[in-house]
Structure 1
Amino acid sequence: MIVIATFWIIAGWLCGWMLLLSMRLLKPPERYPVQIGQQSGMGKDYMLTLPAMSVVIPARNAPDKIGALLSSLAKQTLRPAEMIVVVDAAEDETAIIAAASGASVVTAGESPEGWADKSWACWRGAHAAKGEVLVFLDADTVLEADGLERLGLAFQEKGGFLSVQPYHWMKRAYERLSAFFNLIVVFSVGSGQEGGAFGPCVVCGREMYMDAGGHQAVSGEALENYHLGIVFKRQGMQVSNRLGRGLIASRMFPDGLTGLIGGSRNSFSGGIFATSPIKLMAISIWIAGAVSAVTQWLAIGADPSGPAVLAGALFYLAYAIQIVMMLRYAGNFSFAGLLFPLPLLVFLLAFILLVYRTFARGRGNWKGSRSGPAGQAE
């Protein structure tokens, strides 16, 4: 048993380093003044022009979250050309808050048959937008003061389709139990070479969005962002996925442990099954190695010799250090990686529930909306 556990620990640890190297931050550019639609000197021998950017925010039942995002948008070094908040109904409290903050409010209404609610809201917002560049932001995200500027510069440099995973900001201890959920999402989506994308923050040209079919092309997908990246990739456009530490943040699970498990399960429900076989194998081996680094102590406890205890401690520490290094890119997990068996256990329990929900019931949701086996809205 110790030999088998050792094999999985070493194999998983090596796969973990491969996965860690695939993580990409959106690096901050050199500071210089930039204005939308105007050329600005950069202190160099060249000039820069950024196109007008329309920020589209699908906001379902988000009156307690939308204010922070709109406030951060009002403080940007590079102001958006317009802010469009898409709500279920005009009398929604979210709509009232958005209008008071100077945003244009679009009422999505009931999603048509075959459409997931979030895709429909994004599609409606995109058609209302007038800017050359569309920036889709989830209502529970918050941008740093230069966030929009950096997104515009990154899009200007990379072109195509850019998605950014927010830095997970946590305030309470239980939120750090989401460690493995965060990492699995990051690893499954990757840097964009295989297609797929993060959902909370997406940037693309309006014209290319319409040409590719936008959210209409993924209307029935529960994990619309992942499949939207694939659509752009198949159209021959570059897809770039980055981590948003220092640029955009989100407190994902403020509603307790139940909300954490349910929300985390939904966030990676489609991606883990849609990811490439090679990457899925690497993730699976890494998880198996982490489990073995914990369960090895059952065998060591039955025969607690000095060398076995030392090897077990080294294996555990090797995994803990690796996970700490991974988590520093994903959120303020502090030293949760040193106690990784706890978030690992929560992940495994939630994964079992996910398998049951996916294959036995065939459901997924966005902020309370529901979709059937083929992603059809119910």
Structure 2
Amino acid sequence: MDEVEGVINGTYDYTKLQGDTGPLVYPAGFVYIFSAFYFLTDHGSNIRLAQYIFAVLYIITLILIFRIYVLTKKVPPYVFFFMCCASYRVHSIFLLRLFNDPVAMVILFISINLFLQDWWNWGCFFYSLAVSVKMNILLLAPGLLYLLLCRFGLLLTIPKLCICGLLQVVLALPFLLENPIGYLHRSFDFGRQFLFEWTVNWRFLPEYVFHHRAFHLALLTAHLIALVLFCLYRWHRSGHSILSLLKNPKQKKSASQRLSANQIIFVLFSSNFLGVMFSRSLHYQFYVWYFHSLPYLLWGTNTAFLPGLAKILILGLIELSWNTFPSTVFSSSALHLCHGAILLNLWYGTPPDEDTSTSSSANSARVTRKKKD
């Protein structure tokens, strides 16, 4: 409220906007949405009303994520209990802390549901809107770019990217006209330094290593390598060269076919997970970045690598790690072990579409045999 109050009072220079918790470091969409909260809650004084607003956001988030899981048909129903009732930290982030992370995520899930409907223009619009609230949504950008190229080819992907870029410019225009360098540096500062005392995932490291530039570059390199490997060997399974994505859709045999729900979700959720796994630091509110995708990451691939009980145990250990405050060597180590298990599950498991196509082929073969009999 302190940060957006400066904008409401007429200050559009991002370098002069700050509150008790520090400078304003979120893009323009955050300013507009939380300015609306500012007026709805009597300048931020009516905390109870704000909690009701975030409770509605929480219910909408669950509805949107449930719809995704209904369409993918990969996660057993009993897992939804953990999603709804078993996360104290997520309840706290939504209803006690009132962070902007839940706002960004609910808009993201709107965009993903639009992608599942094959409404890519509107999906890109809401995706960009989510980015304008908090830039962690960019972790899904590599996966989204792959899906756009897979669905439309290079030339028809460009207008979709223009939708994303144009919305950012329109929302940020008042601030860009005042101080463009200040706005871009503050709202999209990829080199921002995080405080060691708040880290959830790197507590077992010495503090000087945590802040060292070489460590940050190593994480970035590992992230990029993981994205390339997933793009080549997990996302792209058509049997054609990766360069075939650049072709005009009319030149592709499957051009008229919509991407399946599982292909879309597998690519987007795994892209986001890789970003979280190699993040320079995870703070407690960042849990909502991937909490609702964890069931799919664990149950989405057909593999004997992790039995069902082990998957439930991983969910419990991750929850325990995020609920340990302050984080400890053991909690952060356990979190990385769980992330490593999920990564192996995604890498060695049969991707959803391959599993589906295999099942369909087997069913067709059985039907053919019955007809012959």
Q: Same fold by TM-score, threshold 0.5 exceeded?
A: no
Which structure's residues are more often strand, by fraction?
Answer: 1
Higher helix share: 2
The TM-score, its normalising length taken from structure 2, stands at 0.29
